[in-house]
Amino acid sequence: MTAAGVEVVARGASVRGPRGPVFEGVDLEVPAGGLLAAHGPAGSGRTSLLLALAGRMRLSGGAVRVGGHVLPAEGRRVRRLVAVARAAPAVDLEGRLRVREVMAERCLTSPGVTERRIRRACETLDLAPRGADLVEDLDPADGLLLATALALAEQPGALVVDDVDDGLPPDAHGPVWAALHRVQDAGPTVLAGCLRPPPPTPGLITLLLPRRSRDRLPAETAAVREDADI
């Protein structure tokens, strides 16, 4: 139900904030249809790295190639290939909306997304959302999986989801990572961020980011607008 996954390669990728490096000198290679788990403590630049790989944050140095398109020169094309499920505070679901409202909103704002696609994506994730529920009342696992399903319905070449283990009870970690593996099996490359790496599995690529900055860039400055050139 998705486009084929795309390769993601970074060489010396760096972003600097007002207080210095947010992350710097990142080298990685994620094959098409692979799964990356970028992990590290708060302040390590996980969210910024994921946004940069998605073409939604400007690089200060180095380069990133996504499916044959090079950042920063081809940001617009990269943004068409990569869907961002969650990368707070820049990208997150509106908690005050009901599940059916965020589904309807996605159908209106994302070309090609239909309710049927969203339902099929939910089935891939073994998620059965109730339309009347408020997003903010969902448990952490269901909130994460709903955001992931909405992004998967865009049929991207790569999908970004941050804070995978945020607020999850211990018994939910395994099922959530299993769901992300099913997303990967469905086609797209998965770029995930987490505090702690998941258990080793075939094809999993892990990247440890050390703590570098206390900065948390606000959404209006961290994310590059969808219609902006990079």
DSSP, residue by residue, 115-136: HHHHHHHHHHTT----TTSBGG
For 47-116, the DSSP string reads HHHHHHHTT-S--SEEEEEETTEEETTTHHHHHHHEEEEEBTTTB---TTSBHHHHHHHHHHHSTT--HH
The confidence score (pLDDT) of residue 2 equals 60
Domain ranges of the chain: 8-215
pTM: 0.90
Cis peptide before 72 (omega within 30 of 0): yes
Q: Are 28 and 205 in contact, with CB atoms under 8 Å apart?
A: yes
Which tokens sit at 210?
């050390």
CATH fold of 8-215 reads Rossmann fold (3.40.50)
pLDDT along the chain (230 residues), means of 10: 85 91 95 96 92 96 96 94 95 96 97 96 96 96 98 97 95 96 94 94 92 50 43
Of the candidates 191, 198, 219, the one whose C-alpha atom is nearest the C-alpha of residue 46 is: 191
